Structure 1
Amino acid sequence: MFLYKIEIQLEQGQAHLIVLAATDEKAFSYVESHVQRHFLKVPEMTSIAIVEKKRAEPGNGYVIEG
């Protein structure tokens, strides 16, 4: 399993998703459902990219700058 940091370009800004998945394809498949659950009105996603990928181990994580 891997921790993925995914950058999502929205029509009005940017979002980051941290997700645990077995493969790159699985990580991408989770993006839309997470975006739909997070926003009341789902924004248009213009691009999605994996920014970082780390093997899931105790203590691994990401710092998200605001």
Structure 2
Amino acid sequence: MFLYKIEIEMETTSAHLIILAETDEKAFSVVESHVARHYIKSPIITSAAIVEKKRTEPGAGYFIPQQ
């Protein structure tokens, strides 16, 4: 299993998604569903890219500074 930090670009904004998945393909397959959970009307995703990928182990995580 891997911990992924995925950068998502939408028409009017951007976001990061932290997801636990077995493969890159499985990580990308859930991006749209996670984005849709946070909006009444799902935004159009223009791009999604893996920014970081780490093996899971105790203490693994990401620090995301406020922009």
TM-score (norm 1): 0.95
- 3-state SS of 2:36 partner: helix
Could you tell me which runs of 5 or more consecutive residues in structure 2 were left unpaired when the two chains were aligned: none
> Could you give the per-residue CA deviations for residues 7-65 of structure 1, whole angstroms, max 9, x where no partner exists?
00010111100000000000000101101111122111100000000001110000112
Q: Which residue matches 2:14?
A: 14
Query: Aligned runs of 1:16-31 on 2, under 5 Å?
Result: 16-31=16-31
Say how many residue pairs are matched. Answer: 66
Q: Compare the two structures and name the one with the higher helix fraction.
A: 1
- 3-state SS of 2:14 partner: strand
- 3-state SS of 1:41 partner: coil
TM-score (norm 2): 0.93
Task: State the 4+ residue runs in structure 1 displaced beyond 6 angstroms.
Answer: none
RMSD of aligned alpha carbons? 0.7
